[in-house]
Structure 1
Amino acid sequence: MGNPGDSTRVTLTIAERLQVSLEGWQTGFKIRWRIDPIFTVVGWQDIYSAFFANAARAGHRPSRITLGAYRETHRNPHIFSRGWGLPPLEWKPPQLTKDGDHFHINTADRIRTYSFLADAIRTARQNT
């Protein structure tokens, strides 16, 4: 764990989270994952497909996977990242639209993203 004031990592790495997830499942706990936010960077389909395939091959069997699209409560994520001492963003969000209290990726793009990932998850599970 860490402290944002001293630039140490606040959350576990993905590898550490996966290890804890697998240990919990092997101990008999119901495991659920939340993949949020989903970043549609260059090559994102291959990146996420490989993640789910590798996780399935390693024995991960979450009972539920919740997907969350990129969204912002404020229109300037750069201010947020600077406040936490994070490096500059390497990804530029697509055009976002105001929806309730947040700015979201448009509905059609979210549906396409979720559909692709649902298929990638099913494929990963079927191939193990």
Structure 2
Amino acid sequence: MTGLIGLAATHRRYVPYGHAHYAGGLLDGAYVLGLFGDVATELCVRGDGDEGLFAGYEQVRFVAPVRAGDVVAATGTVVRVGNRSRTVRFECVVVCRGRPDRGVSAAEVLDPPLLAVSAVGTVVVPAAGGAG
């Protein structure tokens, strides 16, 4: 089980304009938390052969905005393994950002990427040999 520590997964996604929730094309924080849930599911499948269940967050920090037209990368890394629980450290970075100030379809790669959200969460998987 401790072999799961360091297991990581990253999902990249273009943020469509239809997902904008606030003025300025801003998204609500729940959008990124949903991405973290998808990443956690992949980690559980890879590590335990089960989708697992998200038990909760210990910490969530919204550091910078996510906007429609961004390309984001959400990464989760297993940092602690219990009997049935897995603690995961998450980060979501903006890797590309739309630049409507330069033109309707203008965009740029952010180098370095912009940290938007960080979190620590716990997922739970069935006991070894058990069904979920």
TM-score, normalised via structure 2 length: 0.30
- Larger strand percent: 2
- Larger helix percent: 1
